[in-house]
Amino acid sequence: MSYIELHACSAFSFLRGASFPEQLAETAAELGMPAMALLDRNGVYGAQRFSVAAREHNVRPIIGCELSMEDGALLPVLVENRTGYKNLCELLTQAHLRSEKGNCAVRWDELPQFAEGLVALFGSGSARALACNIRRLAECTTNAGEILQRVRFPGEGAGNSTRRACAPQNRESCTPPPVSFTRTQFQKLPCPRRLLFSARA
């Protein structure tokens, strides 16, 4: 089974992502990924460029967004179809209109209105609020996936353990399959040796 990155972040997420959408699509093709998801923070800023570049590299583009929730939690969502894209855009527009620039926050109680066509990935952000967020998602949608994130920084391993411990308690109301990804935020750079060689020449 091929690995598919479901939580890539582009340079359109200021101070979070480093690669342009075209670079992400190119790297996905180099790694043999059949598909890749782009989830920028609180917007679909790079969606069009990513979709065009991904198709040029025979990679299926998956569009989504990393939502900043009112309680500080992060909720990654994936677009399932056209209805989902429409709902995501309306949800983001509503949240941006009532918020100050740079402080967009989505309310949990408005998610049910825009849930159709969206797949939510819970488990990102604070592990302390995980159980509460699972209940909220169960009330909003049956399309959910449980995040198991690859450990890259101190403390992430404990978050995975907490997610796995909390999830079984909620299986009756929300039965998400586990989803694993790396949350790509870094940029692939040229080989340092090649740069040094060019400088000497």
- The reported pLDDT for the residue numbered 1 is 59
In this structure, the chain runs to a length of 201
Residues of the chain with pLDDT under 70: 1, 122-201
Taking the domains of the chain in order of start, what are their residue ranges? 5-200
Tens of pLDDT, residues 129-177: 455 555 566 555 555 444 434 434 445 444 444 444 444 444 444 444 5
The pTM (predicted TM-score) of the whole model is 0.71
* CATH class held by domain 5-200: alpha beta
Task: Please return the burial class of 177, using the count of CB atoms within 10 Å of its CB with bins 0-12, 13-18 and 19+.
Answer: exposed
Tokens of 109: 């109680």
Q: What angle do CA 127, 129, 134 make, to 5 degrees?
A: 100
Q: Comparing C-alpha atoms, which of 4, 96, 97, 87 is closest to residue 41? A: 96
Cα–Cα dist 164/45, whole Å: 32
- Residue 97's pLDDT is 94
Q: What is the pLDDT of residue 21?
A: 94
pLDDT of residue 187: 57
User: What 3-state DSSP class applies to 20?
Assistant: coil
Q: Environment class of residue 199 by beta-carbon count within 10 Å: exposed (0-12), middle (13-18) or buried (19+)? A: exposed
**The pLDDT value given to residue 173:** 46
What pLDDT does residue 183 have?
55
Report d(CA 106, CA 81) in Å as an integer.
21
